[in-house]
């Protein structure tokens, strides 16, 4: 039986699978958890990251401001689904405490490593790049050196060192709405100098749901069978892109090696809050919570570039499904 290697989280947001359902991943019945205009300074909050914090939850949230420009906000929650957003954007500082604002910032991921919460996001370094920062209290946020050259997106850190090094997934891109994209991995001894960049997996396969591009989603979950990574896959239709959620199992000691990859998606836009919005037909995962004791997983995803939503799954069911529908290519 598959087990999660990590901390217990007895207060994980959770709903049992609907009676009679054969879905591997099922939606929260009260979705979306963040709707239009949640704060005066942002019309849409989505593609955001929530983590356990001080017995409750905290997070970094993408908010599209009233001028349309994306930036990041902090927020807190007692139950993981009722979000209290700070109405003022994060005021980033450099390592000396001096103001260091971003030009734009979006699609954050957050991971706790040795008591520090690291934030990655899509940053502006004369074009889309990966931003890197840190916080200990979700009040003061410090920017660190950009880990990679532009153009790049979907930077996702692993939650611990592997063989003495930090690892970062990314998706090299172009300056626009990239019509291509594969996942790569990089490593660092100190979170500053990154190298040994390697290809992990690409778009394609026999199915069409991930035929255009893919990108890493939430922080990988450590299990006794490998790293469980949820990711987004994109298909190109006559009516635009469709973003779905898939999953892959990576080698525990060599996370650039794919062990099993699911040929089917686990969740695709179906509900109105996923199919109708600022950008229709998008389910974009950015965070996951887990309870090691029970194998429960809660996934936070952006819906239609407008809403924040939650879905649930069980680790053993997910990995069994990945193996049953394995398609490595």
Confidence at residue 267, expressed as pLDDT on a 0 to 100 scale: 98
pLDDT tens digits for 36-88?
999 999 999 999 999 999 999 999 999 999 999 999 999 999 999 999 999 99
pLDDT tens digits for 292-313?
999 999 999 999 999 999 999 9
Q: What is the mean pLDDT of residues 223-233?
A: 98
Please name which of 242, 217, 212 lies closest in space to residue 313, comparing C-alpha atoms.
217
Task: Determine the Cα–Cα distance for residues 27 and 301; give it in Å rounded to an integer.
Answer: 10
Please name which of 255, 201, 209 lies closest in space to residue 228, comparing C-alpha atoms.
255
CB 72 within 8 A of CB 87: no
Query: Mean pLDDT of all residues in the chain?
Result: 98
User: Phi and psi dihedrals of 171, rounded to 5?
Assistant: -135, 95
Task: Determine the Cα–Cα distance for residues 58 and 75; give it in Å rounded to an integer.
Answer: 6
Place of tokens 């979705």: 31
Query: Does the pLDDT at position 90 exceed 90?
Result: yes
- pLDDT band at residue 1, thresholds of 50, 70 and 90? confident
- pLDDT band at residue 176, thresholds of 50, 70 and 90? confident
- Name the percent of the chain lying above pLDDT 90: 98
The residues that bridge with 165 in the sheet, in sequence order, are: 162
Task: Determine the Cα–Cα distance for residues 295 and 50; give it in Å rounded to an integer.
Answer: 18
- pLDDT band at residue 177, thresholds of 50, 70 and 90? confident
Place of tokens 């996001």: 121
Task: Determine the Cα–Cα distance for residues 52 and 317; give it in Å rounded to an integer.
Answer: 23
- pLDDT band at residue 106, thresholds of 50, 70 and 90? very high
Confidence at residue 167, expressed as pLDDT on a 0 to 100 scale: 99
pLDDT tens digits for 135-166?
999 999 999 999 999 999 999 999 999 999 99
pLDDT tens digits for 185-208?
999 999 999 999 999 999 999 999
pTM for the model stands at 0.98
Kindly give, in sequence order, each residue whose CB lies less than 8 Å from that of residue 50, ignoring residues fewer than 6 positions away: 57, 58, 59, 77, 80, 83, 110, 287, 289, 300
Confidence at residue 98, expressed as pLDDT on a 0 to 100 scale: 98
Higher pLDDT, 329 or 119: 119
Q: What is the mean pLDDT of residues 122-139?
A: 97
Q: Half-sphere exposure of 268 toward its Cβ, with a 13 Å CA cutoff?
A: 10
CB 43 within 8 A of CB 37: yes
The 3-state secondary structure of the chain reads CCCECCCCCCCCCCCCCCCCCCCCCEECCCCCCECCCCECCEEEEEEEEEEEECCEEEEEEEEEECCCCEEEEEEEECCCCCCEECCCCCCCECCCCCECCCCCCEEEEEEEECCEEEEEEEEECCCEEEEEEEECCCCCCEEECCCCCCCEEEEEECCCCECCEEEEEEEECCCCCCCCCCEEEEEECCCCCCEEEEEEECCCCCCCCCCCEEEECCCCEEECCEEEEEEEEEEEECCEEEEEEEEEEECCCCCCCEEEEECCCCECCCCHHHHCCCCCCEEEEEEEEEECCCCEEEEEEEECCCEEEEEEEEHHHHHHHHHHCECCC
């Amino acid at each position: 039986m598959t087990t999660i290697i990590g901390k217990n989280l007895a207060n994980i947001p959770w709903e049992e699978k609907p009676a009679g359902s054969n879905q591997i991943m099922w939606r929260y019945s009260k979705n979306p958890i963040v709707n239009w205009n949640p704060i005066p300074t942002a019309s849409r909050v989505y593609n955001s990251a929530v983590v356990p914090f001080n017995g409750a939850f905290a997070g970094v949230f993408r908010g599209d401001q009233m001028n349309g420009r994306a930036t990041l906000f902090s927020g807190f929650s007692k139950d993981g689904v009722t979000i209290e957003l700070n109405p003022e954007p994060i005021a980033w500082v450099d390592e000396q405490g001096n103001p260091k604002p971003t030009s734009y910032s979006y699609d954050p991921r957050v991971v706790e490593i040795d008591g520090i919460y690291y934030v990655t996001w899509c940053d502006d370094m004369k074009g889309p790049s990966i931003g890197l920062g840190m916080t200990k209290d979700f009040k003061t946020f410090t920017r660190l050196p950009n880990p990679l050259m532009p153009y790049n997106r979907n930077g996702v850190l692993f939650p611990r060192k592997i063989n003495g090094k930090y690892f970062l997934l990314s998706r090299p891109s172009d300056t626009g709405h990239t019509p291509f994209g594969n996942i790569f991995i990089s490593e660092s001894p100190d979170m500053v100098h990154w190298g040994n960049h390697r290809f992990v997996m690409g778009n394609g396969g026999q199915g069409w749901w991930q035929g255009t591009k893919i990108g890493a989603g939430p922080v990988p979950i450590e299990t006794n069978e490998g790293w469980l990574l949820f990711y987004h896959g994109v298909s190109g239709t006559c009516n635009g892109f469709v973003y779905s959620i898939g999953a892959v199992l990576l080698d525990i000691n060599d996370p650039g090696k794919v062990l099993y990859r699911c040929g089917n998606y686990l969740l695709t836009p179906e509900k109105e809050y996923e199919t109708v919005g600022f950008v229709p037909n998008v389910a974009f995962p950015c965070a996951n919570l887990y309870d090691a004791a029970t194998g429960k997983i809660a996934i936070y995803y952006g819906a239609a570039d407008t809403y924040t939503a939650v879905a649930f799954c069980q680790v053993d069911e997910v990995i069994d499904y990945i193996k049953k529908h394995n398609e490595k290519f």
